[in-house]
Chain A
């Protein structure tokens, strides 16, 4: 079974631009979560989607948004990019329940100049 895939793997943007990242979960998984990883803040939870609905949201500004499609694929969008948004963005999928194990993708490395 294929793992979690994320595209693109690398992105370079400039301040003020917006960006969309994509995540395809493991086949059959219906929950997708997004995390931001930075050297200073570590791994922080952004949000989780299940059956096209946002279930949980971390403590991030409204510039960070996401959505999930009927095939469970998910996208996250960051508008009005700031230098501090430079990070590794990780997507994780799990089957259904809160206690299910999350499996992570390789991440998208976003650099904001």
Chain B
């Protein structure tokens, strides 16, 4: 069965520092991978997606992610974080071929300190 693992429950970084959020997936075929961000009390906003092609994907708000098939990873990066980046970040894989439309990781909560 497909699954997504986000090993970091909570990350704290200083404003202006670089960021990397980890995501590992388990999927039988070529996955479609997504990163979403959720601010408190809000829905999910799509940051970026990988379907095929170039393994380095650019998204909104200065985020990028790199698909590494050999490591089953799709880590999210940003060179310099802003206080407004504080939120919860979800990695997802889909479609799964089964009943699930999208399978989400458990999320990583990002805190930014001045």
Which residues of A line the B interface, CB within 8 A?
4, 6, 33, 35, 42-43, 45, 48, 56-59, 90, 92, 98-99, 101-107, 109
Contact = CB atoms under 8 A, between A and B. Distances in A.
Interface of B: 32, 34, 36, 41-46, 49, 51, 90, 94-95, 99-107
Given A42-B107, A101-B49, A56 B101 contact: yes
Contact of A101 (B34, B41, B42, B106): B34
B100 to A, nearest CB: 5
Contacts of A109: 41
Given A101-B46, A106-B43, A45 B100 contact: yes
Contact of B106 (A4, A42, A45): A42
Contact of B102 (A59, A102, A106, A107): A102
B45 A104 contact: yes
Given A45-B102, A92-B44, 10 more contacts: A4-B43, A43-B104, A56-B100, A58-B99, A98-B101, A99-B32, A102-B46, A102-B102, A104-B44, A104-B46
A45 B42 contact: no
A98 B101 CA distance: 8
Given A101-B49, A104-B36, A48 B101 contact: yes
A69 to B, nearest CB: 19
Contacts of A90: 43-44
Contact of B51 (A33, A56, A99): A99
10 contacts: A42-B105, A43-B104, A45-B103, A59-B99, A98-B101, A102-B46, A104-B36, A104-B45, A106-B42, A107-B42
